[in-house]
Structure 1
Amino acid sequence: MIFRYSLPFFLLLTAGCARQTFFQPDARPDTAPLAAGADSARVTAGRHYQRGPIGRFLLGQHHRAAWAQPVTLPVLDVASTVPGGLKAGKIGGGFQTISMTVLGADGRGYALRSIDKDPYRTLPKVLRHSFVLNVVRDATAAGQPYGAFVVPPLAEAAGVLHTNPKAYYVRSDETGFGAASERYQGRVVLLEEKLEGKENIAGRLPGATDLEESDNILAERYKSPKNTVDEAAFLRARLLDLWLGDWDRHEGQWTWAAYPQAQGQTRWVPIPQDRDQVFFRFDDGVLSWLMSKAVAKFRTFGPRYESIEGYTRNSRYIDTHVLTELNRRTYLATAQDLQRRLTDSVITQAVRQGLPREVFRLEGPAMIAALRARREALPKAATDYYRLRAHDVLVAGTDADERFVVERLNDTATVVSVYELEPSAKRPDSLLYRRVFNPAETHSIALHGLHGDDVFELSGSVRRSPFVHIYGGPDEDKVRDKSRVTGLRRKTRFYDTKRNNDFEPAPELKDNTTKGVESHAFDRDGSGR
């Protein structure tokens, strides 16, 4: 009802044109030239986000005070900020942030990107010159401009791998990056080590042999049983995300480090990146409150967790493909361990160290209080997160031959195990996966055989059990269902082509095979294919 009555008002607001000069011309409020050789400057991250009483009432206060607050930042010196100097590399392709890879004298890469954003290219062309652009641009003020700098000591204490971003001011007459210099002149920027490629490992990740993006490591994970993802490390990182209110954790926000294991195995460990949305504050204006109700992912950071589903909406794909095996006890134990690690002194030091002194006076005490309150409620948040992840679970094999065993033991326990069938693995135990599911928590389990000649075996007679959806994959698969679940609805479904599969009719098995190959589709990398 509220959306229907607010729509005419919103349309009236959006009927105008976009402001021609939205952004501050230079981060320095002082118009006098910066002295040659100056190593620091007095700057603002975004004076253009200041609004009068009506603007704050409609759009929200957000973090406007922090964006407009003058602070002292070091000046980026192309020749000396990094030993040996920096040189321009590849221009980034982000839609909102000005970004570029810059290279050190030793060949290591660093990400250089503006703290401020411009969502111009994210809008449909028809809206790019309307008042809508002003509203969307203004929403950048919901992000804490210096929030990313608070995270590293917290991640270190939590036992989560991390980068170490630092804030700088780029002189308005800087030319050290050649043709790319103009993009950064007069801006507040973030510089951090780039965890990408083997050349960026040395001295940063002892024992690691490679760095890859999410789509590549998932492709390797689904290709061979020799590649495994460190679920425990990913869960720890995701609970840290929830604690920080970081809702933008999609698959593109992660780098993965490869660690060799015994017998030719590789374990991939997650490294969170791009902390642009930590401490997000959005629902404190009329229009922004309405938008937060319409778009669930825009969750505000505060003493309480607003919506676990909202905080995790952007990460749904990567969560589904990585968090598949851990049980409720592990979620709770991880949350309790984080509580012990993230002490009051750790929190206070991180906030004081990360926020500029002037911004700390504005927002530091409230941020500390909120982090402490959220820490106390973290086990409850972890339990809610587990319930969300446990409702529908993906259990995928690899392109090798595998055996999926489903044991419907009783009304509260259905055990799913996956074994490797290839004898060349030479492993004493070919078990790849095992988890006990409770139908009170889990509605459905999707088994994906992918490539390979896979075997699916089901047994047990019970009154309650999750639905089991079997997707055989492109090769020849065998299904044997000797299970039985009381009720009219069959709880086992087989999806594959009608030809080249071996399955027998069974009371619990519903034949969903087709002539086409649609059931073979499986999104291995988040592209939607």
Structure 2
Amino acid sequence: MATGCVRRDFFQSDARVGAGGDEPLPPATDTVLTVAGRQYNDRSKFHHLFWGRHYRKVWAAPVKAPVLHLATAVPGGLKAGKLGGGYQSISMTLEGPHKREYALRALDKEPSKTLPKVLRHTFVLNVVRDATSAAMPYGAFTVPPLARAAGVPHTRPRLVYVRLDETGLGSMSERFQGKLALLEEKFEELSSRTPELSGASGFVSSEKMLAEVYASSVHRIDQPAFLRARLLDAWLGDWDRHEGQWDWAEFKQPDGRVRYQAIPKDRDQVYFRFDDGLVPWLASRPFIAPQFHTFKRKFGYVPGLLNQAHFIDQRGLARLTRADFLRMAADLQRRLPDTLIDRAIRHLPPAVYALEGRGIIAKLEARRQTLPQFAEAYYLRLARKPVLGGTALPERFVVQRYPDSTTVQIFAAARAKLTRGDSLHFQRTYYSAETRSLTLESLGGADVFEIRGDGRNLIPLLIYGGEGADRLQLSGTSRGLKLFDVASDLQAAGAPRPTLPPTKRLTYDRTVEE
């Protein structure tokens, strides 16, 4: 493959309108006229045909932006903190008084790290960089009023311009110089002013939250709240909602349980427009990269819109039924009237609103009307192949299989003793008309799987043994049952095994002959 084709001067040197890249900005300047990325709009009609128009005019639209003055940006001033993560975002943490933290994130992206090193000096990098124009750079400003009405926690981003001679950002100064950025206070300091977060004892990442949920059943995701947030995501066309795009408020309950409420962050992909060129249209087909989902009046290909969040969706929405999904969709319809949508979209800069405002409003109103239909499709996608996981502690999985349904109960163990009653921490019935297969995952502890039922056309059941000395107790048929276990420290119990793939660890007790 040819190398050396990457454009060295791809990005604009200064966001200011009329700036050549070296004109000094007077120290007392408070506001400047800027563009988010003029380089995206410098393209021919031929380029548009193949690569799409996207939001190129928006990236080149003139927008007034306050100049970032670290000493006065917030009462008490700001100073450079730790560097931000991510493969595309240019971001960092700023520290304010009383250890308050703020996130600073450039509007423009540098996606070179998303490519293998062998491609970073080829035309492919030009293509990937150019695709940034599919994002609406100012969409995040419209989300707070909509999220507030929906009952979903949110940040309050502010647009700022970083001076070309700014040196107060430490090692990140050069990367931010001359750029437009979002400045927002982190959730730790917003909780006192956000009703949904009142009473939170702390804030953790998805990685930390999942570790706690997998460790013990006393840690649980607030699933209705997560569904509310996820339906809002889908309504806004925000497809990039993998587990790294969430923080979690931690609420300690009087009974010792801990509840985690989802907090969405990084609204970079709301109102995404990608499939308006030949190449991106082809790339976004279901059989290639359906996650690059374009925001339209109709929700379109549902699996593509939900693809990036499938892992966290499976674990964060497992308890909810079709009725829960439909009820939540109807509630959001009531909370998001036309007047609110119009008011929210007017948070776009005037020049941007003139280009895209009415179109976005019309799409949001149309999508709101069909939100219940989308919610049902969302539910059916998750119900098709659900995955139910245990924890690192001993548990008892009780599965009752019927020709038309399967009911799963998960009981927590009190140390080594398995108990019933209030130890039940999961129960749900799955229906053959909706579910193709059901997976149970044992993580740790000496888990017991009690599988009951007989008949034909049962929902296939896949059981993955964990690190503990797990035991299968089968009452009825083994039809449609598969076992997977990679450990090798246990032998089979004396009873005969069913006709199943061999397992080296899962002890098998036959209690009822076929």
TM-score normalised by the chain length of structure 2 = 0.91
Give the C-alpha shift of residue 425 in structure 1.
11
Q: CA RMSD in A?
A: 2.4
Asked whether 1:514 is paired with 2:507, we answer: no
CA distance in 1, matches of 2:396, 2:420: 15
Change (3 A) 1:230 1:505: farther
Q: 1:365 to 1:116 in 2, by over 3 A?
A: same
Deviation at 1:291, TM superposition (A): 1.7
Shift of 1:278: 0.9
2:219 is the counterpart of 1:230:
no
Q: Are 1:429 and 2:422 an aligned pair?
A: yes
Tell me if structure 2 keeps the 8 A contact 1:403–1:456: yes
Deviation (angstroms), 1:374: 0.6
Equivalent residues in 2 for 1:70-89 (5 A)? 70-89=62-81
Return the match for 1:373 from 366, 372, 376.
366
Q: Determine if the alignment matches structure 1 residue 91 to structure 2 residue 83.
A: yes
**TM superposition shift of 1:199:** 7.3
Identity between Structure 1 and Structure 2 (%): 48
Residue 422 of structure 1: how far off its partner (Å):
0.7
Specify the alignment match of 1:350 in structure 2: 344
**For residues 99 and 159 of structure 2, what CA distance do their matches in structure 1 show?**
22
3-state SS of 2:181 partner:
strand
Equivalent residues of 2:298, 2:367 under 8 A apart? yes
1:409-488 residue pairs with structure 2 within 5 A? Answer: 410-422=402-414, 429-484=422-477
Q: State the shift of 1:72 in Å.
A: 0.8
Aligned to 1:333: 327
1:281 corresponds to 2:273: yes
Contact between 1:480 and 1:503, CA under 8 Å: does it hold in 2? no
Structure 1 position 17 matched with structure 2 position 5: yes
SS at match of 2:129: helix
Structure 1 length as normaliser, TM-score? 0.89
| Aligned 8 A contact 2:411 2:419 in 1 | no
Query: What is the deviation of 1:464?
Result: 2.7
Q: Answer yes or no: is 1:500 the counterpart of 2:493.
A: no
Measure, in 2, the Cα distance between the counterparts of 1:445 and 1:105. Answer: 51
In 1, the alpha carbon distance for the partners of 2:491 and 2:408 equals 22
DSSP-derived class of the 2:398 partner: strand
Q: Deviations over 1:66-116 (max 9, x none)?
A: 100001111212111111110000112322221111001121111101100
Output the amino acid matched with 1:24.
Answer: Q
Structure 1 pair 97–499 and aligned structure 2 pair: CA distance change class (3 A): closer
Alignment partner of 1:21: what SS?
Answer: coil
Corresponding residue of 2:252 = 260
Q: 1:296 aligns with which of 290, 307, 326?
A: 290
Unaligned runs of 5+ residues in structure 2 are 507-514
* 5+ residue gaps, structure 1: 1-10, 517-529
Q: Distance in 2 between matches of 1:441 and 1:256?
A: 31
Larger deviation: 362-371 or 173-182?
173-182
Could you say which residue in structure 2 is the equivalent of 1:149? 141
SS at match of 1:313: helix
Q: How many residues matched? A: 497
**Tell me, what secondary structure is at the counterpart of 2:132?**
helix
Distance in 1 (CA, whole Å) between partners of 2:220 and 2:170 is 43
Of 18, 29, 50, which residue of structure 2 is paired with 1:30?
18
* CA deviations over 1:112-168 (Å, ceiling 9, x no partner): 011001112222223222222111111000000001111111111111111111111
Is the Cα–Cα contact under 8 Å of residues 469 and 505 in structure 2 kept in the other structure?
no
Letter in 2 for 1:266: V
Alignment deviations for residues 420-476 of structure 1 (CA, whole Å, 9 cap, x no partner): 221799996111000110011111111122211222112223333211122232222
How far residue 202 of structure 1 moved from its aligned partner, in angstroms, is 5.4
1:49 aligns with 2:40: yes
Contact 2:412 2:419 in 1 (8 A): no
Q: 1:110 aligns with which of 97, 102, 127?
A: 102
Assess if the C-alpha contact under 8 Å between 1:481 and 1:506 holds in 2.
Answer: no
Query: Are the counterparts in 1 of residues 103 and 186 from structure 2 also a CA contact under 8 Å?
Result: yes
Q: Does 1:213 align with 2:202?
A: no
Take 1:506 and 1:381, find their aligned partners in 2: how far apart are those partners? Answer: 47
Contact 2:3/2:121 (CA < 8 Å) preserved in 1? Answer: no
Native 8 Å contact 1:257 1:270 kept in 2: yes
Q: 1:122 to 1:297 in 2, by over 3 A?
A: same
Task: Identify which range, 257-266 or 367-376, moves more after superposition.
Answer: 257-266
1:312 aligns with 2:306: yes
What secondary structure sits across from 1:482 in the alignment? strand
The one-letter code of the counterpart of 1:331 is F
The alpha-carbon deviation at position 502 of structure 1 amounts to 6.3
Deviations 1:257-294 (A, max 9, x none): 10011321100111011111111101111222122223
Quote the offset at 1:505 in angstroms.
5.6
How far off is 1:515 after superposition? 7.0
